[in-house]
């Protein structure tokens, strides 16, 4: 699905070029009959692939220098590419990206950010899988990362930030969440701190950036995707129960088409690894060419958004504030 996805993305961004890293013979076979795409592609051969069940430590130890994943990330590090997109092993991709690209100065851990559809627009949710837990400092850094992405990608000068919690009351939640809330509320950062939000507030668009740890964020993401598929199955079953329901579905097909597009996770496929000195986008491993093309589109937009530079400036300001507070 990678080659058809590249063809779709090229239609939307005719000035895009691709470096395809993998088995050269297999790639060339897929490019047959796609002359325009082939003219925009460079192939880097690698017959070493990181298995989907490989542990990150194994991926870093065994043959990493020759693997297609490493070579693709290395192309970004060396300035040959502006961004890398992969549907491979998430843990290995994060470990290799962190090792090869390094983190932005002042960032403790990178996070995976996802674009989430809301009632009126979109919001950014992070972390959705890079870190099982997060302490106070990391939660604040996630807020800064998400804010930098919202300004660069969504055009928001002072995005609103919410901390995902089990309730909106200030006394609720674990200690690190309450401490992060206190800091975000008091510190003069380039954000608009909203406060605690609950899971049902995400889709309502209560805030521009939702901050949580990777364990909770990943469960929330997978639950939302599963719910969207469940609702779609309910609708299909209901619309086919009788002649009148099928007639109603025919008359409302335009509305159902719009609903399907809004709820289709492929349209917003791709998680961004924030906090690295480079753009890395992780696509769902089970997506099709439509979904992978969406991840390529996201990488294209992120590459020219200036998010890495903005994030570096925000983090530097954050640590300067910490030092001033400590001195006081």
Q: In this structure, what CATH number is given to the domain that contains residue 312?
A: 3.40.718.10
Task: Identify whether 257 is part of a domain.
Answer: yes
Task: Identify whether 78 is part of a domain.
Answer: no
Q: What is the mean pLDDT of the chain?
A: 85
List the domain range (segments joined by +) for residue 198.
105-267+306-328
The position carrying tokens 């997109």 is 85
Q: Give me the mean pLDDT over the 187-196 stretch.
A: 83
CB 258 within 8 A of CB 117: no
The position carrying tokens 């998400």 is 146
Taking CA atoms, 204 is separated from 116, 208, 210, 287, in Å, by 11, 11, 12, 26
Task: Identify whether 148 is part of a domain.
Answer: yes
- Give dist(CA 230, CA 94) in Å, integer: 30
The residues that bridge with 19 in the sheet, in sequence order, are 42
Q: Give me the mean pLDDT over the 10-32 stretch.
A: 94
Closest CA to 141 of 85, 103, 96, 167: 103
pTM, full prediction: 0.84
pLDDT tens for each residue of 64-110: 788 999 999 999 999 999 999 999 998 899 999 999 999 988 888 89
The position carrying tokens 């837990």 is 133
Task: Identify whether 38 is part of a domain.
Answer: no
Task: Identify whether 121 is part of a domain.
Answer: yes
Taking CA atoms, 17 is separated from 102, 190, 209, 273, in Å, by 25, 35, 31, 21
Q: H or E element: which one contains 25?
A: helix 24-31
Task: Identify whether 19 is part of a domain.
Answer: no
Task: Identify whether 241 is part of a domain.
Answer: yes
CB 279 within 8 A of CB 305: no
- Give dist(CA 69, CA 46) in Å, integer: 9
On the question of a cis peptide bond just before residue 281, with omega within 30 degrees of 0, the verdict is: no
Among the residue ranges 46-50, 128-132, 213-217, the one predicted with the least confidence is: 128-132
- Give dist(CA 93, CA 86) in Å, integer: 8
| Confidence label for 327 from pLDDT (cuts 50, 70 and 90) | very low
Task: Identify whether 225 is part of a domain.
Answer: yes
Going by DSSP bridges, is the β-strand pair 209-211/192-197 parallel, antiparallel, or unpaired? unpaired
pLDDT tens for each residue of 159-185: 999 999 998 888 888 889 999 999 888
pLDDT tens for each residue of 226-260: 877 777 777 777 777 777 777 666 666 666 566 56
Overall number of domains in the chain = 1
Cβ contacts of residue 242 below 8 Å, gap of 6+? none
Closest CA to 261 of 117, 125, 115, 113: 117
Residue 73: exposure state from Cβ atoms within 10 A (0-12, 13-18, ≥19): buried
């Amino acid at each position: 699905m990678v080659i058809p996805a590249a063809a779709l993305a090229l239609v939307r961004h005719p000035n895009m070029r691709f470096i395809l890293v993998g088995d050269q013979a297999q790639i060339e076979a897929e490019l047959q009959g796609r002359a325009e795409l082939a003219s925009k592609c460079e192939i880097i051969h690698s017959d070493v692939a990181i298995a989907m069940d490989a542990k990150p430590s194994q991926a870093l130890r065994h043959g990493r220098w020759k693997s297609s994943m490493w070579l693709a990330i290395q192309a970004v590090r060396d300035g040959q590419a502006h961004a890398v997109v992969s549907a491979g092993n998430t843990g290995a991709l994060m470990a290799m990206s962190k090792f090869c690209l390094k983190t932005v100065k002042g960032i403790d851990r990178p996070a995976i950010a996802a674009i989430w559809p809301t009632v009126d627009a979109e919001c950014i949710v992070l972390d959705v899988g890079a870190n099982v837990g997060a302490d106070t400092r990391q939660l604040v850094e996630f807020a800064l990362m998400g804010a930098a992405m919202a300004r660069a990608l969504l055009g928001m000068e002072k995005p609103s930030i919410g901390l995902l919690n089990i309730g909106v009351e200030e006394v609720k939640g674990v200690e690190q969440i309450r401490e992060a809330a206190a800091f975000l509320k008091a510190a003069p950062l380039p954000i608009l701190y909203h406060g605690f939000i609950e899971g049902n507030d995400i889709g309502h668009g209560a805030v521009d950036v939702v901050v949580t740890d990777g364990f909770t964020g990943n469960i929330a993401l997978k639950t939302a995707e599963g719910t969207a598929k469940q609702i779609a199955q309910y609708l299909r079953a209901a619309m086919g129960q009788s002649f009148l329901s099928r007639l109603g579905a025919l008359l409302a097909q335009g509305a159902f088409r719009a609903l399907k597009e809004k709820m289709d996770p492929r349209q917003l496929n791709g998680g961004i690894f924030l906090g690295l000195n480079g753009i890395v986008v992780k696509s769902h491993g089970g997506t099709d060419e439509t979904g992978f093309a969406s991840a390529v589109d996201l990488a294209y937009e992120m590459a020219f958004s200036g998010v890495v530079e903005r994030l570096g400036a925000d983090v530097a300001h954050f640590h300067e504030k910490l030092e001033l507070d400590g001195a006081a």
